[in-house]
Structure 1
Amino acid sequence: MGAAIGQILGFAVGVAISPVPIIALILMLFSKKATANSLAFLGGWLIGLTAASIIVLALGLEGSNGDAASGGWVKVLIGAAFLALAVKQWKGRPAEGTEPEMPAWMASIDEFTAVRALGMGALLSGVNPKNLGLTIAAAVAIGQFGLDTGEEAVVVSVYVLLASITLIVPVVGYLAAREKMTPALDAMKVWLMANNATVMAVLFAVLGAKVLGDGITILA
């Protein structure tokens, strides 16, 4: 089980470094329904990530029953897709000095209900292409260790917790010490909005190379 946890650490960090959900969460913390919406968003994120992990494990994409090749091909496809997305993000980054445009849904966060915040959290964790791809890769890695159900549950829990740490810390910190956290969160929001495309391009490139390499190793 320890080896499986070691394998999923990189994927969890990749999910945790998600500028858009972090920006959305910070905007919720600054909204008039900060407590209800931020907790709902975090809950939706945890539910989406957990559900995606369980579904992929249930589908058996890891190539169980001795067929490791299918898991290898899944990783090759995910890695190649990530590298393509890295190029797309790099080419689409805003010109220096240009203020990035905020998506319409993000601009309306102040009007979100708790239910909508919950749904948005689930979508950004379980359906977002980057996070879904990383969760599939993590589930493939977990499945190849032949763990029993209880051990898989522990590893998935560790994955979800680590992948959510960049959302858990701001929520807990802001609700516990609002005045102290506000300047730091505001600065983080501004930086992430300005550098989102660059961060994502670098992240996709690094993760794509790793996942593609893992897949090639399995197939070799």
Structure 2
Amino acid sequence: MSSDWAAVSAELIPLALVVALSPISILPALLLVLYSTRPRAAGLAFAAGWVTGLTVLTVLFLNVPRLLGGSADTSSVWQLRLRLFGGAVLIVTGVSLWLRRNKAVRSAHWLDAIGKWSPARTAAIGLAFGVFNPKIIVACAAAGLAIDAARLGPIGQGAAVGYFVVIAGAGTLLPVLAHVLAAKRFDRSLERLRAWIQQRQAEISAVALVVIGAVLMVTGMLGR
């Protein structure tokens, strides 16, 4: 059990980083806590929706092999294939983003308007961002299949899902919690971070996608 847990926890880290390092995880949270008329409520609502989306996707793919009548060995094969395919997709996407980085739109209108959303709409948007983003789907699918293949049992699987979601949601959760706990201390730093990420979001995404895609492909080829 302990060896299975150690192995799957190591496998989940690069998958979680695909999500955590994405500007789509970080920028909305930063904009909400800095510019929303109700920053605390909006930030917490978005984080709740985002984490819920990640959890739903991961649990869904955790149970897909069982629903299809597959075994843990089948899950292991599929999650390795998904790592190879997903890693290749991430690398190609990252290279494409890098080549088009000078043409990228630095500030999308929906990001600028996000501060006007109500907490209820913000939570729904956070959920949608987690559920319908292809990059997030690939990461959560690989995570769910990896957890299923590890033979951890129900309690261990629940802990593994929570472990993955906490790391994957860190890009959203940390800015929100920093504002909630100490807005005066952190908001100036968060604003600088927001400006830098919004200005360099294409480059950040490109580098993160290529590096993490390479990690996924290597671990997939090694069967880990």
Same fold (TM over 0.5): yes
Residue 86 of structure 1 is matched in structure 2 by: 94
2:32 to 14, 28, 33: 28
Amino acid across the alignment from 1:16? A
**Of 116, 137, 143, which residue of structure 2 is paired with 1:111?**
116
Structure 1 window deviating more from structure 2 (160-169 vs 68-77): it is 68-77
Deviation, structure 1 residue 70: 2.8
Quickly say closer, same or farther: Cα 1:64–1:112, change in 2 above 3 A. Answer: same
Q: What is the 5 A alignment of 1:199-210?
A: 199-210=204-215
Q: Does 1:76 align with 2:84?
A: yes
In the alignment, is the contact (CA less than 8 A) between 1:48 and 1:121 conserved in 2?
yes
**Which structure's residues are more often helix, by fraction?**
2
Contact in 2 for aligned 1:137/1:211 (Cα 8 Å): no
Partner amino acid for 2:178?
G
Aligned partners of 1:178 and 1:66: how far apart in 2? 48
Structure 1 counterpart of 2:59, from 49, 54, 57? 54
Partner of 1:196: 201
Counterpart amino acid of residue 101 in structure 1: R
Does the CA-based 8 Å contact 1:100-1:194 persist in structure 2?
no
Aligned pairs (5 A) from 1:96-175 = 100-175=105-180
Aligned counterparts of 2:13 and 2:128: Cα–Cα separation in 1? 22
Aligned residues: 215
Contact 1:9 1:159 in 2 (8 A): yes
* Cα 1:3/1:104, change in 2 over 3 Å: same
- TM-score normalised over the length of structure 1: 0.89
CA distance in 2, matches of 1:5, 1:136: 15
| Residue in 1 that maps onto 2:8 | 4
5+ unaligned residues in a row in structure 1: which ranges?
Answer: none
1:180 to 185, 192, 196: 185
State how far apart, in whole Å, the 2-side matches of 1:141 and 1:7 are: 8
Query: How large is the RMSD of aligned CA atoms in angstroms?
Result: 2.0
Are 1:39 and 1:171, in contact at CA under 8 Å, matched by a contact in 2?
yes
Identity over the aligned pairs, expressed in percent?
Answer: 25
Q: How far off is 1:100 after superposition?
A: 4.1
- What CA distance in whole angstroms lies between the structure 2 residues aligned with 1:13 and 1:86? 15
CA distance in 1, matches of 2:219, 2:71: 17
Which residue in the other structure is 1:43 paired with? 48
- Does the CA contact (< 8 Å) of 1:100 and 1:193 recur in 2? no
The TM-score with structure 2 as length reference comes to 0.88
For 1:110 and 1:202, locate their aligned partners in 2 and report how far apart those are by CA, in whole Å: 28
Rounded to whole Å, the distance in 2 between the matches of 1:138 and 1:122 is 18
Q: Distance in 1 between matches of 2:27 and 2:101?
A: 17
Distance 1:149 1:110, change over 3 A: same
Per-residue deviation at 1:125? 2.2
Unaligned runs of 5+ in 2: none
